[in-house]
Structure 1
């Protein structure tokens, strides 16, 4: 091969070698650039996945929070939702705005047994604050498999702080409202009380629930917002006087019970009503044995000679008897194997006022006989003495009467034996005797005269009512009601001394004494009824109504008449302004 040919071959190889190196370098650069792009894309994808993951997780958490926020709280065991536990009751006020019942905030202690490690240790610690704790009962609760148990309801703030200081795991507090009665037992039977869950179970507390509050609570529509107060007809000042008088009378006359009511004769409003024994509604369980019985409206008794007022009114209203008529009271009445005689017989003819003044059983029985059995029964029914009294107070008893009225029944009922009524309904009938002859249902809520006229029923002539006012006045000044008189306030009334039935027979040793009154009798504004159950003595040593029930009326009127706005009148015509003592 020539030299020139060799040179051409070498050039050709060199050219090929250079192209190959260039091709290899270009291929390497492309490969490096592709790997970088893939890694960047992968990083972006991973970040995106992380972002999506975080959004999903926080989205789920946010959704659950919204769900929990909108969900109703669960009720575990016996616990109620917080707003139900704190649900308000309306305050009860007297007619002048004084608080009779109100809500106060408190807390209750509960346990979550599944979080309790050592029940015995928990009981030992709690006993240092709550020494009356029932250890056996609490142990059973703490050892149960439930998630909630009440341990003690309505703690004091001091007890709560002391228990908190113990630092017991699994123990907590729930807010509640507790009913508080500032006057204690002063108006217990009227106001009533609530149970541990703040639900009314007696008195006007129960009445308030019956008006729809209990139904709203049952469907969860109550809240912790304050409610409009409920004003009662009770005057707390007079109520306090009445309760004090009946309790002092129990001590003074050695009795087992007593009661009294003050009633507005024109509106039917109960201004004050008390029955003893009573109880403190702040701790109602302490009075469960006998204090819960409201003898004024839920106890029935034979009212003795006070019924002679109704018999006399019946006879006069019938037109068959006049005030000037006389009845022969010289001889006892023998009927059905029984002998009817007078306690203080005069042994002569008695006029109608004298029959009333001397409380003649014989004269009264003869007046009832003039009217007849059916007329007698109809008149007492008209006065509301044979039917249940309609009023707001839930505790109202049904009066008792003979299943079949015969002449012997009419005779004995005429002077107060054979029919048992409640003292409250007896007082309502007395109001009808003196207010012009209108029977007005009693109320424990404020009522105007116009409102009273809408529910009033005329049960006797106005002239009959006028005659009865005269007889009440006559008996108070000349008969058995002298110890009820209050200077300046012209009190009129009638006594009733009834022997109580013991083992099916009337006992000479146990009396139920009553006094019915109205004042001022020339223009009655209020009726007052007092009773004393089984007194062993009275003013001057006796134990008849004129010696114990009548002085109770005097005490109540003398202390409350001015409070009620009754103006005293002195002198025969009432024109004297001052009186010397």
Structure 2
């Protein structure tokens, strides 16, 4: 910018020479400068106004196009969610191994209210309370006459309820489409299925999410559209599950037990054919979890998977199997059973006096604590722990339920020699009935470890744990436990049941054990000559009052319940009854 001097020297000299006032020149130059500055400011302002006008035009153009687009599109409910995250309502079915529906979807409606649009809030509140007894008329009226503009009334209603609400005829009551989860078999397999609920919701759709069981474990898979609606196929057999639940519930009532659990497993693959925990619940109306007290008192608690218990004499089978496998004993080896067996301040006793000696076979058949402790002394604590680890007793089972990781066995803080001895007959180590079923499948199926699974076709045999010869010897002993030992009430003609009873005193929360409360367990394999299935039945505080004396041992409680389950379930599993010969496991087909 070239500045014009206010008093140019040449002009001033000329003006003085002519006798003019030089200040006039300065005023003239100042006026020219101000005029030029006004022109520049006007140009800048006009440019800015032009730019602002273009911006406003562009903004109004965008808004107008968007409004036209919205006016031409179908109305939709805004979502309170992350932009671009749509609500996926569709969920795949769940079936049993034979394709029977365990969980499916049902089209229904949700009921909501827009109080500002209501004509008669008092009448609406009164009639809704009559249709839905769980709603309070006073609370509804308070909500309808308050400041709320939107109110959920019921998340899902039946067609009959929808018609009755429609008959109220108030414009403030609205219906939204829903896809709810339906469990058509009610309580059947409730702990396996778990249940579901609503996640994100809008008035036109809702997201169904798993709350527990396989519904939660496979939540992502069940909601994945890439699966094309293919159902999740479980290893459960619906008819067998119904039979097991019915018999177990009957046994629980007859024996006045606080709870019960049963696991029926394919001995060759580890597939769970039936899994029951009582008391149970209806997944269509899943109850709320307990907020205080013992979680195991809730019907939501899965005793078969989450519950870890001292399983008593059922562990003696593993002690004998390890001793046979390592060549420490044979079935005929004589073991000292004279008691009590004293170890420091501890005394180990038998339920009956079995005399000074028993064979290894009879130690298992008669269930001698002293004999089992004597056998494990020859094995040693370190090798015992390693063997139980290979049977799966040192970790959670890995079953495809969200509850399974919480069923991790409780181990002694130090695996001392006295711990080794008590663990040999089922005290001092707590595990779930599912652990027990998998371990018995391993020792009975020829010695191959199995991993429990709830999915059809996913069962696999793992590493060899014991030899076929040891497995055959154990099967023979387990058959004798039922034919002449502590579990004769579990015998089912035609199915050669083998098994082992276990009666464990229940521990007190404050330490020590109850004198009159037990956990009775019976684990069976059938047919014992070529095991196809393993069944574990566990009863919490059972008591047989049919005789002159009250009996709590597993031979009088869990064993007969298991026998009835086998009698009912074996034909459903496709097993034909066979006639046992006097020579052992040679069989002939029974006449039709």
With normalisation by structure 1, the TM-score equals 0.82
1:148 Cα offset (Å): 2.6
1:298 Cα offset (Å): 0.8
Structure 1: distance between partners of 2:97 and 2:154: 36
2:557 — aligned with what?
548
Query: 1:531/1:71 Cα in 2 relative to 1: closer, same or farther (>3 Å)?
Result: same
Which of 347, 350, 359 is 1:351 aligned to? 359
Once the two structures are superposed, residues 447-486 of structure 1 have per-residue CA deviations (whole angstroms, 9 ceiling, x without a partner) of 26xx614xx1222222221111111012111101211111
Which of 290, 300, 308 is 2:308 aligned to? 300
**Structure 2: unaligned runs, 5 residues or longer:** 1-61, 200-207, 291-296
Once the two structures are superposed, residues 471-509 of structure 1 have per-residue CA deviations (whole angstroms, 9 ceiling, x without a partner) of 101211110121111111100000001111123121120
1:510 Cα offset (Å): 0.4
After TM superposition, the structure 1 = structure 2 runs for residues 473-484 of structure 1, keeping only pairs within 5 Å, are 473-484=479-490
Q: Work out whether 1:67 is the aligned partner of 2:70.
A: yes
After TM superposition, the structure 1 = structure 2 runs for residues 136-285 of structure 1, keeping only pairs within 5 Å, are 136-139=138-141, 141-143=143-145, 145-197=147-199, 198-211=208-221, 213=223, 227-285=229-287
1:78 Cα offset (Å): 9.3
Structure 2: distance between partners of 1:559 and 1:294: 24
1:361 Cα offset (Å): 0.6
Secondary structure in structure 2 of the residue aligned to 1:178: strand
Secondary structure in structure 1 of the residue aligned to 2:214: helix
Moved more, 202-211 or 391-400: 202-211
Which of 393, 399, 403 is 1:391 aligned to? 399
1:465 — aligned with what?
471
Which of 533, 546, 550 is 2:540 aligned to? 533
Secondary structure in structure 2 of the residue aligned to 1:575: strand
Q: Work out whether 1:335 is the aligned partner of 2:343.
A: yes
Q: How many residues align?
A: 509
1:149 Cα offset (Å): 2.2
Which of 577, 581, 589 is 1:568 aligned to? 577
1:537 Cα offset (Å): 1.3
Q: Is the 8 A contact 1:239 1:273 kept in 2?
A: yes
Query: 1:274/1:393 Cα in 2 relative to 1: closer, same or farther (>3 Å)?
Result: same
Once the two structures are superposed, residues 360-415 of structure 1 have per-residue CA deviations (whole angstroms, 9 ceiling, x without a partner) of 11110111111111111111111101211112111121110111111111111111
Secondary structure in structure 2 of the residue aligned to 1:258: strand
Q: Is the 8 A contact 1:306 1:516 kept in 2?
A: yes
Query: 1:277/1:131 Cα in 2 relative to 1: closer, same or farther (>3 Å)?
Result: closer
Secondary structure in structure 2 of the residue aligned to 1:183: coil
Structure 2: distance between partners of 1:246 and 1:549: 9
Query: 1:139/1:226 Cα in 2 relative to 1: closer, same or farther (>3 Å)?
Result: farther
Aligned CA-pair RMSD: 2.8
Secondary structure in structure 1 of the residue aligned to 2:557: helix
Q: Which has the higher helix share?
A: 1
Q: Is the 8 A contact 1:303 1:417 kept in 2?
A: yes
Moved more, 143-152 or 475-484: 143-152
After TM superposition, the structure 1 = structure 2 runs for residues 321-332 of structure 1, keeping only pairs within 5 Å, are 321-332=329-340
With normalisation by structure 2, the TM-score equals 0.81
Structure 2: distance between partners of 1:485 and 1:80: 64
Q: Is the 8 A contact 1:78 1:149 kept in 2?
A: no
Q: Is the 8 A contact 1:77 1:149 kept in 2?
A: no
Query: 1:286/1:169 Cα in 2 relative to 1: closer, same or farther (>3 Å)?
Result: same
Structure 2: distance between partners of 1:353 and 1:300: 28
1:421 — aligned with what?
431
1:577 Cα offset (Å): 2.5
1:74 Cα offset (Å): 4.4
Q: Is the 8 A contact 1:345 1:360 kept in 2?
A: no
Which of 74, 77, 87 is 1:84 aligned to? 87
Structure 2: distance between partners of 1:571 and 1:151: 64
Structure 2: distance between partners of 1:472 and 1:286: 42
Structure 2: distance between partners of 1:266 and 1:272: 15
1:311 Cα offset (Å): 1.2
1:524 — aligned with what?
531
Structure 1: distance between partners of 2:222 and 2:75: 24
Q: Is the 8 A contact 1:279 1:287 kept in 2?
A: no
Once the two structures are superposed, residues 269-291 of structure 1 have per-residue CA deviations (whole angstroms, 9 ceiling, x without a partner) of 11111111001111112796621
Q: Work out whether 1:509 is the aligned partner of 2:516.
A: yes
**Structure 1: unaligned runs, 5 residues or longer:** 1-58, 217-221
Query: 1:111/1:316 Cα in 2 relative to 1: closer, same or farther (>3 Å)?
Result: same
Secondary structure in structure 1 of the residue aligned to 2:562: helix
Q: Is the 8 A contact 1:300 1:399 kept in 2?
A: yes
Which of 486, 494, 497 is 2:500 aligned to? 494
1:440 — aligned with what?
450
1:348 Cα offset (Å): 1.2
Once the two structures are superposed, residues 199-226 of structure 1 have per-residue CA deviations (whole angstroms, 9 ceiling, x without a partner) of 111111112204473xx6xxxxx69x97
1:319 Cα offset (Å): 2.2
Once the two structures are superposed, residues 291-345 of structure 1 have per-residue CA deviations (whole angstroms, 9 ceiling, x without a partner) of 1111000111110000111111122222222223221111311123111011112
1:134 Cα offset (Å): 2.8
Q: Which has the larger radius of gyration?
A: 1
Q: Is the 8 A contact 1:538 1:544 kept in 2?
A: no
1:79 Cα offset (Å): 13
1:354 Cα offset (Å): 1.1
Secondary structure in structure 1 of the residue aligned to 2:354: coil
